[in-house]
Amino acid sequence: PTAELQALDAAHHMHPFTAGAELAKKGARVITQGKGVWLTDSEGNRIVDGMAGLWCVNVGYGRHELGEVAKRQMDELCYYNTFFQTTHVPAIALATKIAELAPGDLNHVFYAGSGSEANDTNIRLVRRYWDVKGQPERHIIISRKNGYHGSTMGGGSLGGMTPMHQQGGLPIPGIVHINQPYWWGEGGDMTEDEFGLARAKELEDKILELGPEKVAAFIGEPIQGAGGVIVPPATYWPEIQRICQKYGILLIADEVITGFGRTGNWFGSQTFGIRPHIMTIAKGLSSGYAPIGGSIVCDEIAETVGGAGDFNHGYTYSGHPVASAVALENLRIIEEEGIIDHVRNVAHPYLAERWKALEDHPMVGEAKLVGLMGSIALTPDKARRAKFASEAGTVGLRTRERCFANNLVMRHVGDRMIIAPPLVIKPEEIDVLIERARKSLDESYAGLKA
């Protein structure tokens, strides 16, 4: 029975990013099954998953092929490591496939178990790179406020989430943050293009303030996901790219969300014309069917670090055979079923038109969408792009709760509502998503006026 499960859950299971006391009071929703974009809970409700789990179930729930591959691999070779000059077929095959898909000379994969671990790898990798290059003072990494790069000490430090920094003594030394390119919320009187340039210029200012000889790398998500699906102005990334190149700073694109089709290309870097030295990957790499992540590394860094003796870093599960085999099968499905073309076709214009139309709602300020990654800003005053003062954050929370009550998973970040459904979503399912979102917005708005 649901109540019994909830009581045991509250008693014994510590949830990420969740207040334990709240959980004990309300009980967590128990999800029991998934198929395509649909979830079922322990009460038999059918829920549209507008978030693909945590932005990861790209091929949708319930793909039996992935389970079959996992079973075959477990029977064949359940585990072996990739330390100390050993390897195995799934790790080789997956790295080869990733290198084929990744743009430019991103030809080398360092495996991790998650996006956070991969970003921890990146910190050590870029610092090691500069050490080998004879520039050991070059260790600072510049990141952005409100970026998200994971929950480990390294990932949480790279991230610029104030609530995370407030707990556990983050960030660790050697990581500094500049402002995010969030025009709607912070752009003032500037045009989007002007603002994009101004925010990119902050990188140059920070590099000059620190001294270019001290800066190892800049890291950013092509589109900030957990920060609220902040789509940068068109001027932003080209200018960031130019500045990194000018000062010889390594560029890390965190593609944990934007990778593997989410933005209508294999990688978000392709959508925005970014040419990174390293990409962080996880989530959609296996569509969440197995925990796996990694860093895709360019020739120069891989050869420099690899040519200089042991890189003293790695995880027991780096290149785990079962996770690697599942990821490879997942990439086969994305490729052979034309899922990235599907994203392009279904996102534009079908979802884009319906998403944009939400701007006619009295509480919706802007509606942004790139591929199948979207956000709306909730506002008490569209013309002024105002934020809720007295109810800051609670309007988004209430809207999310209304969505959940209406059997739609939509996430809130403060007063921004976000979606990232499985990439296989069909037009008729988009209709259900939009209808439930609209109903939830109406109910939340009614609560606002009361």
Report DSSP state, residue 376: E
Residue number, 264 or 293, with CB nearest to ligand PLP: 293
Which of 39, 170, 219, 226 is in the footprint of ligand PLP by CB under 6 A? 226
* Binding-residue total with ligand PLP (CB under 6 A): 18
Question: Using the rule CB under 6 A, which residue among 53, 150, 276, 288 binds ligand PLP?
Answer: 150
Q: How far apart are CA 335 and CA 355, in angstroms?
A: 27
Question: Are 327 and 336 a contacting pair, CB within 8 Å?
Answer: no
Closest to ligand PLP by CB, 282 or 434 = 282
- Which is nearer to ligand PLP, 106 or 226 (by Cβ)? 226
Which of positions 297-316 make contact with ligand PLP (CB under 6 A)?
A: none
Pick between residue 279 and residue 425 the one whose CB is nearest to ligand PLP. 279
Task: Please tell me the distance from the alpha carbon of residue 172 to that of residue 157, in angstroms, as a whole number.
Answer: 6
CB 129 → ligand PLP: shortest distance, Å?
A: 20
* C-alpha pair distances (Å), 359 with each of 352, 423, 443: 12, 23, 16
Contact 284, 294 (CB under 8 A): no
Query: Is the CB of 418 or the CB of 432 nearer to ligand PLP?
Result: 418
* Interface of this chain with ligand PLP, residues 244 to 263, rule: CB under 6 A: 254, 256-257
Q: Is 222 in the site for ligand PLP (CB under 6 A)?
A: no
If the CB atoms of residues 268 and 396 are measured against ligand PLP, the closer one turns out to be 268
Q: Rounded distance, CA 446 to CA 450, Å? A: 6
Q: How many residues are listed for the chain in this entry? A: 450
From residue 36, how far is each of 153, 263, 423 by CA, in Å?
A: 35, 19, 9
Closest by CA position to 258, among listed 290, 230, 281: 281
| Helix spans in 30-181 (H) | 52-55, 64-76, 89-101, 115-132, 153-158, 162-165
- Tell me which of 139, 149, 206, 262 binds ligand PLP, using CB under 6 A: 149
Q: Does 294 bind ligand PLP (CB under 6 A)?
A: no
Q: Minimal CB distance to ligand PLP: which residue?
A: 115
| Six-digit token string for 183 | 């025009």
**Least Å from the CB of residue 440 to ligand PLP:** 23
Which alpha helices (H) appear in 77-227, and where do they start and end? 89-101, 115-132, 153-158, 162-165, 183-186, 192-210
Kindly state whether residue 227 participates in binding ligand PLP, applying the rule CB under 6 A: no
CB neighbourhood size of 20 (10 A)? 11
Q: Is there binding between residue 221 and ligand PLP (CB under 6 A)?
A: yes
In the complex, what is the shortest distance from the CB of residue 17 to ligand PLP, in angstroms, rounded to a whole number? 10
120 forms part of the interface with ligand PLP (CB under 6 A): no
Residue closer to ligand PLP (CB basis): 280 or 379: 280
3-state secondary structure (DSSP) of residue 56: coil
Q: Does residue 432 belong to the site contacting ligand PLP (CB under 6 A)?
A: no
| Minimum CB–partner distance for residue 320 and ligand PLP (Å) | 14
Q: Residue 146 or 399: which CB sits closer to ligand PLP?
A: 146
Both tokens of residue 157?
Answer: 């430090």
| Dihedral over Cα of 128, 130, 136, 139: its sign | negative
Residues that bind ligand PLP (CB under 6 A): 54, 114-116, 119, 148-150, 155, 221, 225-226, 254, 256-257, 280, 282, 293
